Structure 1
Amino acid sequence: MRVPKLAFLFLFVGCLVLYLTYVKRHFDGAKPSVSDQLPQYRTDTRKYSTTGDVSENVQYGIMFDAGSTGTRIHVFKFQMEPNEAPKLAHETFKALKPGLSAYADEPEKSKEGLQELLNVAKSTVPERKWSSTPLILRATAGLRLLPGEKATILLDKVREVFGQSSFLYKPESVSIMDGADEGMSAWITINFLIGALHGTETPTVGMLDLGGGSTQITFALQDEKTIQTSPIDYVTSFQMFNISHALYSHSYLGLGLMSARLAVLGGIEGQPLAGPLELVSPCLAPDYSGEWEHADVLYTIKGQKAGEPIYESCLRKVEKMIYKKVRKAEEVKNMDFYAFSYYYDRAVDLGLIGKRLATCESTGGTVRVSDYIEGAKRVCSNMSAGGIQETPFLCLDLTYISVLLQELDFPPDKELKLARQINKVETSWALGATFHCIESLHKHGSC
Structure 2
Amino acid sequence: QKKKIKCRSSRKWGSETESIISLCSSVQIRMKIPKLASVFVFLGCLVAYLTYVKRHADSGKAMFIKTPNHPSAACVSLEHQPCVEELTTSRFQYGVMFDAGSTGTRIHVFKFLLEENEAPKLAHEVFKAIKPGLSAYADEPDKCKDGVQELLGVAMETVPMALWKSTPVVLKATAGLRLLPGEKATHLLDKVRNVFSESPFLSRADSVSIMDGTDEGVSAWITVNFLIGSLHSAKKATVGMLDLGGGSTQITFSPQNEKTIQTSPFDHITSIQMFNGSHTLYAHSYLGLGLMSARLAVLGGIEGQPLDGSQELVSPCLAPQFMGQWEHAEVQYTVKGQKAGTAHYCVEKVLYKKVEKAEEVKDIDFYAFSYYYDRAVDIGTIDEKTGGTVKVSDYIDAAKKACNSMEVTPGQHPFLCLDLTYISVLLQQLGFPKDKVFKLARKINDVETSWALGATFHYLESLRRH
Answer whether TM exceeds 0.5 for this pair: yes
- Is 1:277 the counterpart of 2:311? The answer is yes
Counting only pairs closer than 5 Å after superposition, residues 256-271 of structure 1 correspond to structure 2 as: 256-271=290-305
Structure 2: distance between partners of 1:69 and 1:314: 25
Query: Aligned AA for 1:346?
Result: R
Structure 1: distance between partners of 2:430 and 2:224: 20
Find 2:399's aligned residue among 367, 376, 384: 376
Offset of residue 200 of structure 1? 4.6
Structure 1: distance between partners of 2:305 and 2:393: 35
- Show CA shifts across 1:318-356 (max 9, x none): 00010000000111010100000000000000100013x
Q: Secondary structure at the match of 2:86?
A: coil
- Is 1:396 the counterpart of 2:396? The answer is no
Find 2:170's aligned residue among 136, 145, 151: 136
Q: Which runs of 5+ in 2 are unaligned?
A: 1-69, 72-82
Could you say which residue in structure 1 is the equivalent of 2:462?
440
- Is 1:410 the counterpart of 2:439? The answer is no
Distance 1:411 1:198, change over 3 A: same
Could you say which residue in structure 1 is the equivalent of 2:257?
223
Counting only pairs closer than 5 Å after superposition, residues 280-359 of structure 1 correspond to structure 2 as: 280-305=314-339, 313-355=342-384
User: Is the radius of gyration larger for structure 1 or structure 2?
Assistant: 2
Could you say which residue in structure 2 is the equivalent of 1:419?
441
- Is 1:248 the counterpart of 2:282? The answer is yes
Could you say which residue in structure 1 is the equivalent of 2:268?
234
Counting only pairs closer than 5 Å after superposition, residues 104-143 of structure 1 correspond to structure 2 as: 104-143=138-177
Structure 2: distance between partners of 1:64 and 1:114: 9
Query: Aligned AA for 2:141?
Result: P
Offset of residue 54 of structure 1? 4.8
- Show CA shifts across 1:389-444 (max 9, x none): 43321111100000000010101000011001111111000000000001111112
Offset of residue 55 of structure 1? 5.2
Offset of residue 376 of structure 1? 0.5
Q: Which runs of 5+ in 1 are unaligned?
A: 1-44, 356-361
Could you say which residue in structure 1 is the equivalent of 2:64?
none
Structure 2: distance between partners of 1:296 and 1:354: 30
Offset of residue 237 of structure 1? 0.4
Q: Which runs of 4+ in 1 moved over 6 A?
A: none
8 Å CA contact 1:51, 1:129 repeated in 2: no
Structure 1: distance between partners of 2:85 and 2:436: 49
Structure 2: distance between partners of 1:191 and 1:396: 32
Distance 1:434 1:302, change over 3 A: same
TM-score (norm 2): 0.81
Could you say which residue in structure 2 is the equivalent of 1:173?
207
Structure 2: distance between partners of 1:343 and 1:120: 29
Offset of residue 283 of structure 1? 2.5
Structure 1: distance between partners of 2:286 and 2:455: 19
Offset of residue 83 of structure 1? 2.3
Distance 1:382 1:149, change over 3 A: same
Q: Secondary structure at the match of 2:399?
A: helix
Q: Secondary structure at the match of 2:278?
A: strand
Structure 2: distance between partners of 1:202 and 1:175: 34
Offset of residue 89 of structure 1? 0.5
Could you say which residue in structure 1 is the equivalent of 2:244?
210
Could you say which residue in structure 1 is the equivalent of 2:33?
none
Distance 1:243 1:50, change over 3 A: farther
Offset of residue 199 of structure 1? 2.1
Q: Secondary structure at the match of 2:87?
A: coil
Query: Aligned AA for 1:427?
Result: T
Structure 1: distance between partners of 2:252 and 2:118: 25
8 Å CA contact 2:321, 2:410 repeated in 1: no
Query: Aligned AA for 1:368?
Result: K
Query: Aligned AA for 1:372?
Result: Y
Structure 2: distance between partners of 1:304 and 1:315: 15
Q: Secondary structure at the match of 2:231?
A: coil
Offset of residue 274 of structure 1? 3.3
- Is 1:100 the counterpart of 2:134? The answer is yes
Find 1:198's aligned residue among 224, 232, 237: 232
8 Å CA contact 2:367, 2:440 repeated in 1: yes
- Show CA shifts across 1:182-221 (max 9, x none): 0000000000000000025221000000000000000002
Structure 2: distance between partners of 1:333 and 1:260: 24
Structure 1: distance between partners of 2:446 and 2:409: 37
Structure 2: distance between partners of 1:247 and 1:256: 21
Q: Secondary structure at the match of 2:206?
A: helix
Structure 2: distance between partners of 1:343 and 1:105: 31
8 Å CA contact 2:99, 2:105 repeated in 1: yes
Structure 1: distance between partners of 2:414 and 2:133: 22
Structure 1: distance between partners of 2:85 and 2:193: 24
Q: Secondary structure at the match of 1:438?
A: helix
8 Å CA contact 1:51, 1:128 repeated in 2: no
Between the two proteins, the alignment pairs up a number of residues equal to 387
Could you say which residue in structure 2 is the equivalent of 1:189?
223
Query: Aligned AA for 1:149?
Result: E
